[in-house]
Amino acid sequence: MDVLTSFERLSDEEKYEHFMKRIEAGEKIEADDWMPEEYRQTLIKLISMHGISEIMGALPEKEWVPKAPTLRRKLGIMAKVQDEMGHGQLLLRVAEDLMKPYGRNREDIMQDLFTGRLKFHNVFHMPAPTWGDAGLIGWLVDGAAIMTQTNMLKASYGPYARALQRICAEEVFHAQHGEAIIMALAEGTEEQKALIQDSLNRWWDSLLMFFGPASADTTGSSKQDITVKYKIRSKTNEQLRQDFFSKYVPRILSLGLEIPDETMHYDKENETWVYQQPDWNEFKNIVKNNGPKSKDRLDLRKNAYDQNAWVRKALSPDNQAI
Amino acid sequence: MDETGKGFYQEFEVFSKRTFKSPFQHQFSLLAPNEELAIVMAQENFMRREPVADIWVVKRSDIRMLDQEEREGLQRLDNKDYRNTKGYGYLKKKWRDYEQNMLDEKEILSWGGDD
């Protein structure tokens, strides 16, 4: 092999140029490949947040496993909770391989979650007090998640793209599972119809916030420009939110539900949905673990972690001499 | 930090096959404290719906993988005609001149069949 052409001999600028060329050509970057620090850091932040959100997201839904109205519904929501944990496992693996050069691992991810350094998605800080919420989470929160995740199916980072491929295939089941619950209630008694309207009212702002602020002006920081530059995603937060409206607003209305925003309408001339902005200060506050259920859910996660410490200790290969 | 957990997680790569006829396919990686739990986790993580006929878990440290440079060296040049039947396609016309059919891949692979 010609030593002079060896990749290791290239300067950082040349490596960066080579990296960007690969990305532009649609090649996939793998875990051990050279990558710019900014790319690695952005991916770690994005994917560890995504992964831990899957796990924290299972918590509001698991509350409904014992309370689901029929055996079939119980099995359905149990399968969904199990999927979310599986997605978390998958995504954490992707994040962990990226963190490896820093000597960081899953232990650090868990500690970062407990100390608040690692944030989880705004929707999972909210209460889900009724069966209508269980359905609405599946239908619209998962619907919003599908929008953001399919937007990254062609991500330049190979391991993330492959994980998302598996995840999105299962999300289709999640969306239909949610639709089935909502449909049954929408076709039910007046009381049941009121239940889902109530859930929609409760979740509307959270759904708008789900896609993140339109620009850094709103909340002071946004990673969307960097993720677009490195072809991790293609659409901006606002484009995704608009796509969500286009897909879901007509469906929401068709079931006889009302959008809890009187100003909401489609501006044909500008081809955009006009809507009332949620309170972005509230959003910042929620993701700082000051949401209505943030503390409870973190405690639940921490208790499970602490109570199982003995298992990790007993099975740790470090302890085999004992 | 809980130091007892530091050595707990080992990296495993998971492979499985859908049926006994199908080839093993790489699924993903997972963390587990040992092989037995890696098999359990493999089923939990990757085989909740799809049928599965067999599972392998391999410690990642036992796999020799290619690095970036080696992988980039795998790119094939488009000059392999001499190695493929495509490079010998002109024979079909030649055989026609001798009033014979060409023994192509479809014909030859059919010889092993029962019919």
CA distance A11 to chain B (A): 15
List, for residues A131-156, the tens digit of each pLDDT value: 999 999 999 999 999 999 999 999 99
pLDDT score at A5? 58
Q: Which residue has the higher pLDDT, A244 or B7?
A: A244
Alpha-carbon distance of A281 to A99, in angstroms, equals: 31
Q: Which of A86, A89, A318 sits opposite B6 (nearest CB)?
A: A318
pLDDT digits (tens, 9 = 90+) for B33-67: 999 999 999 999 999 998 999 999 999 999 999 99
* pLDDT, mean over chain A: 93
pLDDT at B1: 40
Rounded Cα gap, residues A52 and A39, in angstroms = 20
- Yes or no, beta carbons of B5 and A312 under 8 Å apart: yes
CATH topology classification for B9-62: Ubiquitin-like (UB roll) (3.10.20)
User: Does the beta-carbon distance from B68 to A33 stay under 8 Å?
Assistant: yes
Mean pLDDT, chain B, whole residue set: 89
- Contact B2/A89, CB-based, under 8 Å? no
Chain A partners within 8 Å of B4 (Cβ) = 309, 312-313, 316, 318-319
Regions of chain A where pLDDT drops below 50? 1-4, 322
pLDDT band at B113 (very low <50, low <70, confident <90, very high): confident
In sequence order, which residues have a C-beta less than 8 Å from that of residue A122 and are 6 or more positions away? A206, A209, A210, A283, A286, A287, A291
Query: Domain residue spans in chain B?
Result: 9-62, 80-115
Q: Give residue ranges of A with CB < 8 Å to any B CB.
A: 6-8, 30, 32-34, 79, 82-83, 86, 89-90, 93, 96-97, 105-108, 111, 162-163, 166, 170, 309, 312-313, 315-319
pTM of the model: 0.89
Does B47 lie at the interface with A, CB-CB under 8 angstroms?
Answer: no
pLDDT confidence of residue A51 = 97
CATH architecture of the domain with range A25-215+222-319? Up-down Bundle (1.20)
- DSSP letters spanning A114-172: HHTSS---GGGGS---SHHHHHHIIIIIHHHHHHHHHTTTT-SBHHHHHHHHHHHHHHH
